[in-house]
Structure 1
Amino acid sequence: MDQVFAHIDDHTRLSSHMGERSWRTGGGRLETQTDEGRGQKVGSRIRLSGRVFGVELSVEEIVVERDPPRRKVWETTGAPRLLVIGHYRMGFELSAYEGGSLLGVFIEYALPARAPARWLGRLVGSHYARWCTRQMVDDAVKHFESQPATQLSN
């Protein structure tokens, strides 16, 4: 659990799926920036900004809960400029499971405040939320699958 927590506690890794150009981001990408706390302590700030589907997006987050190696939660601050979701609270939980770790990623979100983003959010917000959380889990699984077993036990 310690190794998994250390890996996903790094927001540049955790949000790496948003930093890669893909059809799901309309060929755009978001860059992750953190304060001196690197998003790894309560009160630390994270900013994502860039273009998705040709639209300039930005969101600022703050870490509100961190209990290594079990749980971390962050939420939006200010007025997020997003396409299909509005304010959100997001996090992950880890537990020991059969000699390894069980990772769950969650998101609680509001729809965007104004049309047309609100309408778009009603159509695809839940799909986006599932895709985003699934990417975070899949990225962690891929990382640890590629590690030799002896390296993981150190």
Structure 2
Amino acid sequence: MTYTRSAQAIVDVAASPNALFDYLDDQARLGSHMQKPSMMMLGGQMSYELDDAQGRAVGSVIRMEGTMLGVRLVVEEVVIERLPPRRKVWETRGRPELIAIGAYCLGFEIEAAGQSSRLRVFIDYDYPRSVLGRILGWIFGPIYARWCVKRMAEDAVRTFQRQKV
């Protein structure tokens, strides 16, 4: 599928590609920034429901549900690529019920960089389909997409910095 918008974050992480992939392969941990109220979530939060594979196999299904400003949010994702310890990609299935972005493809790539790893977290997305969704997506979509990939990347950096101390 082709998407009209994208955002990415690139960071160096003090971890081997294997250790970093194992950390990021946990979908609930990777999306932990969505599971607690925050300013970017306007006080809302999402909860995860994982299939038996826990999001760790091609074809695995991840379902998120929550609220933001009293609006019900629902999205279902499916893992479409998983190449440990280098790359994992998942995308929405069906029609996501979100506010700032619509359908998307999200993932990460890891390259060895000496004693560390270079991590790229990316999202390719469209605006929501409704007229109001397109307006809100045009205003908030790029901000939200950048926040999301940045949080995933920075959380990985912080996790491995703490482990070295």
Same fold (TM over 0.5): yes
Name 1:14's counterpart in structure 2: 30
Instruction: State the 1:148 CA deviation.
Output: 2.7
Q: State how far apart, in whole Å, the 1-side matches of 2:95 and 2:146 are.
A: 22
Q: 2:151 aligns with which of 112, 135, 150?
A: 135
Q: State how far apart, in whole Å, the 1-side matches of 2:164 and 2:158 are.
A: 12
- Output the amino acid matched with 1:41: A
Number of residue pairs matched? 149
Q: Which stretches in structure 2 are left out of the alignment for 5+ residues?
A: 1-16
Q: State how far apart, in whole Å, the 2-side matches of 1:136 and 1:54 are.
A: 25
Q: State how far apart, in whole Å, the 2-side matches of 1:68 and 1:119 are.
A: 38
Q: State how far apart, in whole Å, the 1-side matches of 2:106 and 2:39 are.
A: 24
- SS for the counterpart of 1:135 is helix
RMSD of aligned residue pairs (Cα, Å):
0.9
Which consecutive segments of 4 or more residues in structure 1 shift more than 3 A? Answer: none
Q: State how far apart, in whole Å, the 2-side matches of 1:57 and 1:121 are.
A: 15
Name 2:66's counterpart in structure 1: 50
Name 2:102's counterpart in structure 1: 86
- SS for the counterpart of 1:96 is strand
- SS for the counterpart of 1:80 is strand
Q: Is the 8 A contact 1:5 1:68 kept in 2?
A: yes
Alignment of 1:3-152 (within 5 A): 3-148=19-164
Q: State how far apart, in whole Å, the 2-side matches of 1:54 and 1:92 are.
A: 31
- Output the amino acid matched with 2:19: Q
- SS for the counterpart of 1:147 is helix
TM normalised by structure 2 equals 0.88
Q: Is the 8 A contact 1:26 1:54 kept in 2?
A: no
- SS for the counterpart of 1:62 is strand
- Output the amino acid matched with 1:15: G
Q: State how far apart, in whole Å, the 2-side matches of 1:52 and 1:28 are.
A: 4
